[in-house]
């Protein structure tokens, strides 16, 4: 299959591909998604095949309005409507109970709930309107690998497997949306993101924090809860404390293969970097680091000689919670120790 790169001027053609049951990657403010008609079961199943994604890992449904959600979900609570009016369009995904039979089990992973999002990207909102259907959209990468934040990342992973990629530059946030479960008595955050628990609590009151890894025989309600995610080919090591960097760089200097270093500019400037260590800047702070994390992991994926990546940690507060969630998953919870 010839994978085309579409611009905003090609939007009608991209929408036609969606209507015809084909796959088109689309931009959002978080990462690039892999789009298919959410009402076309065959098309949805082809998303799993293209990504190599387990079939019990549910998909997020992207919509252009609350009206589109209400077509498939059971009546929304007042709390849900408050969240939608506050955070949509934006990086908040909300799980609702579905009207029976309204969406295929291929979308929901076999559950009676589905996750909905109204992305803050004008191009993609126009794509959904032009196609006339909700669009499923997991991250447009090979399953388990770092999520794509540019059209080039998508092309690297999925060229020849999908019809096209709608290019709208680099994603703003760089980590996926917050996932909030509103299908239970007490709302719960299943995946942290740019919309924090504090942000949500200010609107609807206290929420639970349940972004744990689910059991082998348990069906996850949101992406990223069960399977390996965000991992490059090299082993990622988390550097927990500033004092650990000296020891980590001494260790790196003794390795027979090149080592990657992902850290802020100030942290990189603080040390004498060994000749076999390649640095990747995470910018100035946790905000820029969250934006650049996946780009850095993908950078070192292209450097086949790099077998280890030393990566800076941050306090797990605010956007730092999302950053550390993704970093811990990419590292397989592996922390550098002396």
CA dihedral (210, 154, 151, 122) positive or negative? negative
Which amino acids are annotated as binding site for ATP, given as ranges?
Answer: 53, 57, 113, 139, 147, 191, 230
Q: Is 88 helix (H, G, I), strand (E, B) or coil?
A: coil
Supply φ then ψ for residue 82, to 5 degrees. -65, -40
Supply φ then ψ for residue 234, to 5 degrees. -75, 155
Which amino acids are annotated as binding site, given as ranges?
Answer: 30, 53, 57, 62, 113, 117, 139, 147, 177, 191, 230
231 class by beta-carbon count within 10 Å (0-12 exposed, 13-18 middle, 19+ buried):
middle
Sheet holding 33-37, edge to edge: 4-6, 164-166, 24-26, 33-37, 135-136, 60-62, 113-117, 92-97, 178-181, 188-191, 208-209
Q: Is 107 helix (H, G, I), strand (E, B) or coil?
A: helix
Range 264-272, long-range pairs (CB < 8 A, 24+ positions):
264/288, 264/289, 264/312, 267/242, 267/312, 270/245, 271/245, 271/246
Instruction: Measure the CA–CA gap between 119 and 194, rounded to whole angstroms.
Output: 13
Q: Is 112 helix (H, G, I), strand (E, B) or coil?
A: coil
Which amino acids are annotated as binding site for L-threonine, given as ranges?
Answer: 30, 62, 117, 177
Which of 18, 53, 17 minimizes the C-alpha distance to 135?
Answer: 18
- CA of 128: how far to CAs of 38, 91, 331, in Å? 11, 17, 35
Instruction: Measure the CA–CA gap between 129 and 131, rounded to whole angstroms.
Output: 5
């Amino acid at each position: 299959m010839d994978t085309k790169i579409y611009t905003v001027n090609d939007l009608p053609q991209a929408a036609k591909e969606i209507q015809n049951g084909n796959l088109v990657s689309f931009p959002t403010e978080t990462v690039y998604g892999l789009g298919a008609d959410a009402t076309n079961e065959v098309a949805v199943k082809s998303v799993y095949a293209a990504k190599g994604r387990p079939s019990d890992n549910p998909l997020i449904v992207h919509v252009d309005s609350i009206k589109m959600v209400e077509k498939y979900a059971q009546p929304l609570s007042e709390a849900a409507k408050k969240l939608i009016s506050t955070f949509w369009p934006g990086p908040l995904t909300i799980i609702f109970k579905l009207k029976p039979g309204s969406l295929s089990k291929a979308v929901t992973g076999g559950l009676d709930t589905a996750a909905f999002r109204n992305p803050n990207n004008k191009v993609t909102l126009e794509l959904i309107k032009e196609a006339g259907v909700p669009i499923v959209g997991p991250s447009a990468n090979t399953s388990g690998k770092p999520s794509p934040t540019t059209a080039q990342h998508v092309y690297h992973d999925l060229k020849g497997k999908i019809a096209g990629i709608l290019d709208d530059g680099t994603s703003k946030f760089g980590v996926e949306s917050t996932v909030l479960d509103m299908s239970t008595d007490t709302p719960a955050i299943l995946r942290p993101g740019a919309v924090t628990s504090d942000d949500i609590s200010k609107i609807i009151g206290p929420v639970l924090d349940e972004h744990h890894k689910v059991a082998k025989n348990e069906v996850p309600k949101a992406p990223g809860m069960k399977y390996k995610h965000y991992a490059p080919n090299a082993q990622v090591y988390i550097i927990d404390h500033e004092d650990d960097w000296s020891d980590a760089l001494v260790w790196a200097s003794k390795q027979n293969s090149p080592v990657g270093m992902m850290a802020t500019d100030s942290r990189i400037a603080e040390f004498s970097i060994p000749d076999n260590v390649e640095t990747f800047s995470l910018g100035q702070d946790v905000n820029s680091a969250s934006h650049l994390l996946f780009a850095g992991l993908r950078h070192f994926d292209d450097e086949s000689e790099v077998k280890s990546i030393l990566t800076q940690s941050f306090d797990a507060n605010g956007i730092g919670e999302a950053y550390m969630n993704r970093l811990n998953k990419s590292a397989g919870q592996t922390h550098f120790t002396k």
